Structure 1
């Protein structure tokens, strides 16, 4: 199954296995609105909108939001968060790397942890440039994995390597900065939010048992069961107890490209 389509399988558990919360999303929405000097008519597009974690606060505030995602299940989860689909929200089931819009359609384009999933990222960046209005903003954001969770994940990666498992293809280096600077955009960087994330070892183990993350997706179930068993035994020795809490800071980073 492709990397993209696997999101259909994890849509039902996506939100609870990530580390964004509603309160953090609200804080980030405030940051974005101030950053782009939003007015009531400001329009937003998020390719790879998923379950709406990033843009739901904007929808609730009445801003025009369009979201595209290749996973119908993820879009359905977004819809379920609303009693009814408001007129200011449009959700499209399609390949987010191909934007079915006319030139100069949006004031703000937001991507979050998704550029690496696009097969032809150069074409995708051209598409973002095309659909942005003059004086528009492209915001390329990512959630930084909390260090304690990243350390936990790296222990699993080491065990995967013992089984000679290649969990995912290596992420290609994407030079977004050079492209948008060549198009005359001004660039900047900011941390929109920092917050503490806490999970028990047992809880994190349960997320990986459910194959909630990309490094697990290409591993066969037969091999994965052996890997998880070994990983659980490792965790008991490493952390002393599966009830131990792992806490550290997460960040929401934004690279800002402003059209001149």
Structure 2
């Protein structure tokens, strides 16, 4: 059975593939919405977990917060630093594990994660770490994919071609359920949640699948490791067929709405 270290290295390698900034551009509206609602002010001690190339971190730093961005891989940090320089803000970027946050208790006023921490294998450890490093009265802000989202269906198809992970590693979409989060974090928090949608502006299912195939780490890892290699065509056809059921046309044009749960949790004062 793989050890925690084994799983961490596998995940670090998987998420380092591709040009993540291209995916991050699609996710930016969710980051903007979350930061607008949280409205961190000057001097706010802010930890952004699974920061990627810094969508949330940069917006918060632009408001004067003292931001630390932590991610399992540092492959995206050069892009985050360049974006910070262009924006005239400062970030501290740290390679680290969401399940083993390297900070003392009550170090932060605000802890966030957008579409990231839900992929940590051990949910109790990830949630417990966020709780531990957050001061009493502080807030947690998250955007988490839901179980009925296009992302959930995409991940389900990818996972079906590979061995089932142990524990919660294969169930990240649980974080998109309000009741599950309330149980996970416990009575020390009060929650406000809202189901929202990102918009992926791809008019054809084939176009969206090709995009993720070219730049999304887990998809690239799946394509590189599937055995026999001929099965990729089968997997890919399933992704296209599934995506076709999500393509819709409205006032924004033709594209794919992707549901997520926006979460703001307030830690009770002790």
With the length of structure 1 as denominator, give the TM-score of the two structures.
0.73
RMSD: 3.8
Are the aligned partners of 2:110 and 2:134 in contact in 1 as well (CA < 8 Å)?
Answer: yes
- Correspondence for 2:81: 79
The CA deviation at 1:4 is: 2.6
Q: Distance in 2 between matches of 1:167 and 1:233?
A: 18
Q: Distance in 2 between matches of 1:97 and 1:181?
A: 17
Q: Distance in 2 between matches of 1:138 and 1:232?
A: 38
C-alpha distance 14-104 of structure 1, shift in aligned 2 (>3 A): same
Are 2:264 and 1:256 equivalent residues in the alignment?
Answer: yes
- Post-superposition Cα deviations, 1:153-189, rounded to whole Å, max 9, x if no partner, equal 48x939x86xxx227632265743124333x222221
Are 2:186 and 1:178 equivalent residues in the alignment?
Answer: no
C-alpha distance 79-146 of structure 1, shift in aligned 2 (>3 A): farther
Query: Unpaired runs of 5+ in structure 2?
Result: 1-8, 245-252
The CA deviation at 1:257 is: 2.0
Are 2:98 and 1:96 equivalent residues in the alignment?
Answer: yes
- Correspondence for 2:13: 5
Map 1:86-235 onto structure 2 (within 5 A): 88-143=90-145, 153=154, 157=157, 165-166=161-162, 169=165, 170-171=170-171, 175-182=180-187, 184-191=188-195, 194-199=197-202, 200-210=204-214, 212=216, 214=218, 217-219=221-223, 220=225, 223-224=228-229, 226-228=231-233, 231=236
Q: Distance in 2 between matches of 1:24 and 1:137?
A: 17
**Quick check: which has more Rg, 1 or 2?**
1
Map 1:15-30 onto structure 2 (within 5 A): 15-17=21-23, 20=26, 22=28, 25-30=31-36
The CA deviation at 1:123 is: 2.8
- Correspondence for 2:249: none
Q: Distance in 1 between matches of 2:113 and 2:29?
A: 20
> How many correspondences in the alignment?
241
Q: Distance in 2 between matches of 1:44 and 1:194?
A: 25
Are the aligned partners of 2:42 and 2:63 in contact in 1 as well (CA < 8 Å)?
Answer: no
- Post-superposition Cα deviations, 1:22-42, rounded to whole Å, max 9, x if no partner, equal 455333321221xxxx43222
The CA deviation at 1:66 is: 0.7
The CA deviation at 1:132 is: 0.9
Are the aligned partners of 2:57 and 2:67 in contact in 1 as well (CA < 8 Å)?
Answer: yes
Query: Unpaired runs of 5+ in structure 1?
Result: 240-244
With the length of structure 2 as denominator, give the TM-score of the two structures.
0.70
